[in-house]
Each structure stands twice: as C-alpha cells, then as structure tokens.
Structure 1
Amino acid sequence: MLNIAWGVLLWMSATILFRLFGQIFLIPEQVFFVLAIFILAIPLITIATYPYYYFRNIPETERLKAAVQIALPGMLLDILSIIYFAKVFPNLTDVSLPLFASWLLWAYSLILLTGFSIKNNNK
C-alpha cells in the first residue's frame, strides 16, 4: 500500500510541476529544453526510486513488484490527464501534447526499469 501511495505522490508532484512550469520545457521548437527534460528524468527517477527501495528495505527480488506498484497509479491517473489535457494543463498548447505523452511513457518506463536487478543471478 505504501508503494501505491508513493506512486500517487510522485504523480501529483510531476503533474503540479508540469501544470506550473510545463510551458517552459515542452515547446516543440525548443529541442534543447525538450531533450533536457527527458534527460533530467533519469536522475529524478533514480532519486525517487532507489533510495525509496533502500529505506523501505525492499529486497531486490521484490523491487519489480514495487516498481509496478509505484508506476501504475500514475499511469492510470494520467489517462485522465491526457483526456482532459487542456483543463489540467492550461499553460500547455495542444502541440505539446505528444511531447508530454512521450515524456510520461519515458518516465514510467524508467520507473519500471528500476525494478529489475542489475546483479547476475546465474552463478
């Protein structure tokens, strides 16, 4: 249950961030800023997941399950964010919707990837 709550908190944080500042990053003509927001997601997701796994003492064998539980609430809630894009993100243009949706897929993919163990267990 705590993993789901963490996922909702991450979703809420990202939604508020894009609602307030998305117009700065998600401009199709500003390739540098678009690229920067995609690259910046890597350390942000890393900071939001690996320390969480560590402090919650989630064993590597359970991290994939935890990653799914973290990502799934946001994925479901973002269905509504996309459907009501103009109302949820009034500062973003319709042209930025594909960039936003792409960033969401990228971020959720990164969260899910943190659930996979890096160690080679085939010894």
Structure 2
Amino acid sequence: MSLGHGPVPAPWTEEVYRAVGEAVPSLLARWDFEPPANRYLLAFVAALYARTEFTDEVSAMADRLSDTKPGCYLRLVVALLRGADDLVAELAEEIATWMYYGSDSYLDEPGVSAASKGRITLTKGVLTTAYGESS
C-alpha cells in the first residue's frame, strides 16, 4: 500500500480466511466460558469476521476497560461491528499515535476503506495488549 497500490493478498489468503471462518462460530460460542483475556481475543475475531451478534458483549467489555489500551481496541471492535466508519477512522488514528505502534502510513492510503484500516490497526496491535491489561 505504501507504493500506491491497494492491499495485495497472498494467493492463499482467501483459503485461510475461509478455513478460519469455519471455526469462528464454535470459538465464539465459548464466549461465556472463557477468561477475560481470551474474550478479548474473541472480540478481535468477531471484528475480523463481522460477527455483529457479539456487539453487546464487546461493548460491555470495552466499558469495563474504558481507561486502558485494550479498552481503546475494544471500542474499535465495536465501531467495526456497528459499521461506524467515521469512528473507526478516528480510533485507528488515535491508536496509531501510540509511540510503540510503528508505521501508520496505511491510514493515508486512498481507496482503502475505513473498515480495512480499522482491521489493519487491530491486527497490528491488539495482540500486544491481550494479556497485559485485559485479564
């Protein structure tokens, strides 16, 4: 994308996405039984697979973690699940200002949807906070 091209998936990307997608319902069905750190990661999966039926659960978790970095990521997940593109863009920009976050040039790429930018933001950073503040 930094060379002016849209995201170029690897030849196997769609196959992997579908294979993981087949497991998503059974993973998300475990929501109530998993500890908070695992639910945090399940929220991320819900966002990547647009599983909007988990919006309320993720929103409640975001409220509980409101003053933390995981809470910010969860607000991004909720915005993605609700299709709130303006909020997705705002939260992705906010997260990109964090010192350790790395390059944020993908946020300025034309033709890339707010949802894609939000999902890239999640992918780049959500795992760095999964077990530090969400458990």
TM-score (norm 1): 0.31
User: Highest CA radius of gyration, 1 or 2?
Assistant: 1
Greater relative contact order (CA < 8 Å, ≥ 6 in sequence): 1
Counting helix residues as a fraction of each chain, which structure ranks higher? 1
TM-score (norm 2): 0.29
